[in-house]
Structure 1
Amino acid sequence: MSDSPRTILVVEDDNIVRMLIVDVLEELDYSVLEAADAGEAITFLQNSGQTIDLMMTDLGLPDMNGRELAQKAREIRADIPVLFASGYADTVDVPEGMHNIGKPFSIDQLRDKVNGILGN
């Protein structure tokens, strides 16, 4: 594949969970940006030189919930796809153009979800 890897911003306040997600995505040849909270994520989103093809965020973040972060992300990058990860995915109302995956998820589930969103 000659084109550069797609870039995914992973927003997850649990270091171990974030590390696992990042490992899986990197194994799948995605380029990954890591944020421990919404503030860090917004810094990435505001850097117009940084390509972000997908933002994957936990719903429960220390500084702002994932839904609020998704709204902010859409204000900065109007068409960014968002994937929410939540232990309560079945009960989550997902806004238009956004997706969710229930925790815990398997590597295969994550791969299929991300590939599906990015059209791979």
Structure 2
Amino acid sequence: MLLRGHCLCGACTFELDGPPRFVCHCHCESCRRATAAPFTTWIGQPDGHWRFTGTPPTCRESSPGTRRGSCPVCGSPMFYESDRYPGERHFYAALLDNPGAVTPTLHFHAAEHLPWIALNDGLPQH
């Protein structure tokens, strides 16, 4: 399985190879604010199974032990990584060339979901 994706302007490109550790919707306030969206869908990819193939993203520490990457050209958010989850990087499913190639299997931080988002898809909620 090889998945490709890119930022809004196309400068930052990436590839994910092999199966992801998880695909989930995250409803935490931090993810909402980082993306200006009601929730984010993540692909958790093990280290060694992802690579940047275009302009490397810039990286900043968004909170202690947490780093977020973005395109230095257009500013699109590209990834999340945290000391809490060693050995993996989380990529935005919406950046894939074919986002339909992955299927979320759970809602993470479901207790923080916005009241106007209906979590009635039958997926487990953590």
What TM-score does the superposition give when structure 1 sets the normalisation length?
0.31
Greater RCO, CA 8 A, separation 6+: 2
Greater per-residue helix proportion: 1
Greater per-residue strand proportion: 2
Larger Rg: 2
